[in-house]
Amino acid sequence: MRDVAPVPAADTAAAAPAAAAEPTLRQLAARHDLAFGTAVAMAALADDAEYRTWVAAQFDTVTAENEMKWAALEPARGRYEWGPADALVAFAEAHGQRVRGHTLVWHNQNPAWLADVPRDELGAVLKDHVQTTVRRFRGRIWQWDVVNEVFEDDGTLRDTVWLRALGPGYIADAFRWAHEADPDALLFYNDYEVEEVNAKSDGMYDLVRELVRQDVPIHGVGVQGHLTADHAPLTMRENLGRFDALGLRTAVTEADVRMPLPADPVKLQAQANVYRTALDACLRTPGCLSFTVWGYTDRYSWVPGWFEGDGAATILDEDFAPKPAHRALRDGLSSGGRRRRD
């Protein structure tokens, strides 16, 4: 296993300058029994003191952008690289934060060696991966994204290596395996473009309702929230509510709101409105446990490298200056109470 130097502790006494005189996002969210989190780029956490300070001060949950994905954890079969994931968990524990584990079963970012595994061995290999990873962090991960992105836009199951080799039952099996490895972790299904009521979220609803009916240990549904500034998710409250009615928790797991570059005041205000709409849907859903932004500063955002011509998707600019979206989230967390389950 490769040794990784521990991440330096953040100087939490030196609060991020723009927010020094105000309650932090995590403090505001706590008033609603809501966890407010961010995805973390581990290189930035290790090398950028200002980035580290914001992470420690403003957020009470963290998610590894890449370091808990299978390709990162086991680049060669049987050789694990736990160092970066261990470092994030240790950083979180040192700063009173909880960790969302992301992600155990996915069709993407799998190790290259998996392509050489015989089809009849894939079930055992997947089970070993799930349980080895969950046991490594037993008692230290709050929520796991157990199964990620198994649906096409029309609500049918995505054609993946797992579906072809194992059939649709692999989804329920993955939750059972994870629960065996850590009975106290909350286990989520996670997907994108399922924020609103549509064919894809209908497929997701049908799946998780059946899992609940079968007493599969699924505890929640994550809607990622990769949104655009030109469209607010107007049926998101209705959508979250139907999962809530099944007795499941919900979470916004990867929120960002991209726009065509360059940014301008009109686009930035539209972005703020979209963030606020998503937050309000979560706050109005009794079982919505957490709201996580997928990175909080444009300096380290994944969006420009993935969506050509788009960017400026986070709540701070490249110099850590708050944008209107940051104020919109603060205002949303500062207003009123939230609905709670009886």
The angle, 0 to 180 degrees and rounded to 10, between the axes of the packed helices 170-181 and 122-136 is 30
Report which secondary-structure segment, H or E, holds 252: strand 249-260
How far, rounded to the nearest angstrom, does the alpha carbon of residue 232 sit from its chain's CA centroid? Answer: 20
State yes or no: cis peptide before 262, omega within 30 of 0. Answer: yes
Where in the sequence numbering do the catalytic residues fall? Answer: 149, 254
Token pair 């955002």 in the structure block, residue = 301
* H-state helical runs in 115-221: 122-136, 161-166, 170-181, 199-213
Beta-carbon contacts of 196 under 8 Å, excluding residues fewer than 6 positions away, are 233, 234, 235, 236, 239
State yes or no: cis peptide before 132, omega within 30 of 0. Answer: no
Beta-carbon contacts of 113 under 8 Å, excluding residues fewer than 6 positions away, are 76, 77
**152 vs 146: CA distance, rounded Å:** 18
Question: What percent helix, strand, coil does the chain show, rounded to 5?
Answer: 40, 20, 40
**95 vs 40: CA distance, rounded Å:** 14
Token pair 């606020």 in the structure block, residue = 276
Strand partners, 143: 100, 186
Phi, psi of 300 (to 5 degrees): -120, 20
